[in-house]
Amino acid sequence: MFPRTREDIAAVRQRDPAARGAFEIWLTYSGMHAVWGYRFTHWLWGVRAFFLARVVSQFVRFLTGVEIHPAAQLGHRVIIDHGSGVVIGETAIVGDDVLIYHGVTLGGTSAQGGKRHPTLGNDIVVGAGAAILGNITVGSGSVVGAGAVVVADAPADSLLVGAPAVARPKRGSKVSKENFNYTDPAIYI
């Protein structure tokens, strides 16, 4: 557990210019506290202590303002910056090196069983207030703009903005423009 904690703190120091030191991050970053609490609840879920996992998860939510379902799958170095209001659903999958800002929802759009929450690749930034909904995939290296509502798959190296969000190639993207479905070819961010 301690190597993962050190890895998380190093990731915050690298990506957050306001982070002043490891002790400050360890003590005051509620987003990190939520991720650490999630790891414990995910372990409980894995040993089939479902009720206890949900109880502890709700306690962590009460303390941090971040709700992560114990069955969700989070990769390494996931950072929840500012924390408050983040919701990550039961079947969500979040890759490595993902930065999530406050008010983000990784939610479902169906009451049916099975996979109903999004999958995020590696090296993704999700802006404040964004909603990524349904059993969709956002490719690695993408950026989801603040307030975007993503309801369709997006290829790697996408810039997703708007409601509903439209995937555009990021500036310098190596992905073919034919992989994107947008109407204004003059827009490259």
pLDDT tens-digit series, residues 138-183: 999 999 999 999 999 999 999 999 999 998 888 766 666 666 665 5
User: Does residue 182 fall inside a structural domain?
Assistant: no
User: Does residue 177 fall inside a structural domain?
Assistant: no
User: Does residue 154 fall inside a structural domain?
Assistant: yes
Catalytic residues, which ones? 102
pLDDT of the residue at 61: 96
Q: Kind of pairing, strands 149-150 and 143-144? A: unpaired
pLDDT of the residue at 80: 95
Quote the CA–CA distance of 8 and 10 in Å, as a whole number. 5
Sign of CA dihedral 76, 127, 30, 47: negative
Residue type for position 166? V
The residue-averaged pLDDT of 26-35 equals 94
User: Does residue 157 fall inside a structural domain?
Assistant: yes
* Domain containing residue 91: 2-171
Number of compact structural domains in the chain: 1
The residue-averaged pLDDT of 19-44 equals 94
Stated pTM of the model: 0.89
- Residue 93: CATH number of its domain: 2.160.10.10
What are the two backbone dihedrals, phi and then psi, of residue 158, each rounded to the nearest 5 degrees? Answer: -90, 150
User: Does residue 189 fall inside a structural domain?
Assistant: no
User: Among candidates 47, 51, 101, 52, which has minimal Cα distance to 78?
Assistant: 101
**pLDDT above 90: residue 49:** yes
User: Does residue 33 fall inside a structural domain?
Assistant: yes
**pLDDT above 80: residue 2:** no
User: Does residue 188 fall inside a structural domain?
Assistant: no
DSSP for 75-92, please give it. -TT-EESS-TT-EE-TT-
User: Does residue 162 fall inside a structural domain?
Assistant: yes
**pLDDT level of residue 62 (50, 70, 90 thresholds):** very high
